[in-house]
Structure formats: C-alpha cells, structure tokens
Amino acid sequence: MGIKIKTPEEIQIMVEGGKKLARVKKALAEAVSVGVSSLDIENLAVKLIKEEGAEGSFNKVPGYSWVTCISVNEGLVHGIPSKDVVFKDGDIVSIDVGLYFGGFHTDTSITVGINPSSENKKFLNVGIMALQKAISKAMVGNYVFDISEAIESTVEAHGYATIKALVGHGVGKDLHEDPQIPCFVPALARGRTGRITDSPKIAEGMVLAIEVMYAAGSDKVQVLEDGWTIAMRDGKMSGLFEESVAVTKDGPIVLTR
C-alpha cells in the first residue's frame, strides 16, 4: 500500500473534518448514561454526522452497516450497536467513530466510565496518559517504534497489558492506511541498539490514527459470535483511546480533539 504523505491543502481538509468529528465524539461521550443503549448512541451519531455535513466512515467498510463501534467492559473494539446492550452503573463504554469529509477520513475513540470506581478511574486515566505520551512522539524524524514504546511503557508501568493482536494505522483517503502502529514494541525490535530499521520513520505530512488498546488482565482476545466484536478472553475490562494526528514540521496536530 505504501505510506501516503498529505499535502498542506489535504491536511487542512482533514483539520476541518477532525473538528467535526471531535464535536460528534464529545456529544456521544456525554450521552452515555445508565439506561441508554448502544443503539441510542449509534442513532445519535448518525444524526450528528449528518448535521456536520459529513458521512460516516465505518459504514463504508464492506459488511459493516453502522457509523460507530460501541464496546462495553471486556469488549475491546468493533462492538455492533444494539438495542439490547443497555448501559448499567459501573460500566466502561468504548465509542469508536469515524467521519468522512472532503474526501478524507478521520478516526477517533474514547472510553468513558458510568460512575466509575476508583480502580476504573485509574484504569481510564492510564489510557489517556498513554495516548498523550504517544502523540508527543509523532514528530518528524522519530519512528513508529517511539510511539509504540510510549504506549507500552506507560500502560505496563501501571500493571496493565497492551493489546498485541490489533494496531493503530495511517488515515486519509482510506480509513486504514500504512503505517501500522502497534501498541507495543515487537519482540524483533527488543534489544537492538539505535533506531529500529524495520520501523517506519515519521515524516512531515503523515496522518496517524494513534490508538491505545489495553486491558486490566491478559492481552488475549477473542472474536465473538457476531463476527465483529473483539473482546478480552479473560473477561477483564479493556480500554480504547484514539486520535487522528497530523505530523507537521512544528510538531503533531491532534485533528480530533
């Protein structure tokens, strides 16, 4: 596929799309409460994306008919919205949503707790912290390795596990572009000195969907019977935080915040 470098004009379109998606994400997160279903969040997303003069990204993926993926507790990613998934007190709810505007996709995720316990608050704060540290590494001349290392070191320092089976990605005219951005440092890279030659170098004009996927227990996942939902095999809680980030000569610009 190859890494696709965006022109300043293309990045400006993605800036506008990212602002639209940020507003949608904020409204969806605020709508999560006891008694609300994941289908309610989906329906709200459809309405808000249309009001922004944009289209959903996820329903352009072959075989997927929704504009959001909504996962609860041990559900990590790709949860299908359903009227039967009704949020309860103490739930951890992950919302993944993409927006297509001006010929370009932006992609973002957030995990929110409903009256979270102190343990769950700590868990969520670690994901937010890991994402911030990862974004700070999206600098010209760094490597994808640096982003992965920032996520892994932050998550593991607090006793949690990063997910190995899924990755972040580039984003632009296609929802999923190169490079892949793991949440961990691949075993092949460990122990080497200097920069990792098989890790893509970060260049001006890249746009990266940097995604922190982590869990309170094991990193092992399973695909559920619906064929889409990916959940933690041990049933422990999981989290998902993601922003679309443009790499510029002046540093990273978070498009979806």
H/E/C letters for each residue in the chain? CCECCCCHHHHHHHHHHHHHHHHHHHHHHHHCCCCCEHHHHHHHHHHHHHHCCCEECHHHCCCCCCCEEEEECCEEECCCCCCCCECCCCCEEEEEEEEEECCEEEEEEEEEECCCCHHHHHHHHHHHHHHHHHHHCCCCCCEHHHHHHHHHHHHHHCCCEECCCCEEEECCCCCCEEEEEECCCCHHHCCCCCCCCCCCECCCCCEEEEEEEEECCCCCEEECCCCCCEEECCCCCEEEEEEEEEEECCEEEECCC
Sequence-distant (6+) residues with CB within 8 A of 170 are 3, 4, 176, 177, 178, 179, 181, 206, 207, 208, 209
- Confidence (pTM): 0.94
Task: Identify the pLDDT of residue 2.
Answer: 79
Task: Identify the pLDDT of residue 108.
Answer: 98
Question: With the CA atoms of 128, 242, 19 and 61 taken in that order, what torsion angle do they form, in degrees rounded to the nearest 10?
Answer: -160
Superfamily of domain 8-251: Creatinase/methionine aminopeptidase superfamily (3.90.230.10)
Structural tokens at position 179? 């490079």
DSSP 150: H
Q: Are 90 and 114 in contact (CB under 8 A)?
A: yes
Task: Identify the pLDDT of residue 192.
Answer: 53
Task: Identify the pLDDT of residue 194.
Answer: 47
How many CA atoms, within 13 angstroms, populate the side-chain half-sphere of residue 17?
Answer: 30
Residue extents of the structural domains in the chain: 8-251
3-class DSSP state of 102: coil
Task: Identify the pLDDT of residue 18.
Answer: 98
Task: Identify the pLDDT of residue 199.
Answer: 85
> Distance of CA 160 to CAs 59, 125, 157, 230, 231, Å?
32, 12, 7, 18, 16
Question: What pLDDT tens digit does each residue of the chain (257 aa) get?
Answer: 679 999 999 999 999 999 999 999 999 999 999 999 999 999 999 999 999 999 999 999 999 999 999 999 999 999 999 999 999 999 999 999 999 999 999 999 999 999 999 999 999 999 999 999 999 999 999 999 999 999 999 999 999 999 999 999 999 999 999 999 999 987 655 555 445 656 899 999 999 999 999 999 999 999 999 999 999 999 999 999 999 999 999 999 999 99
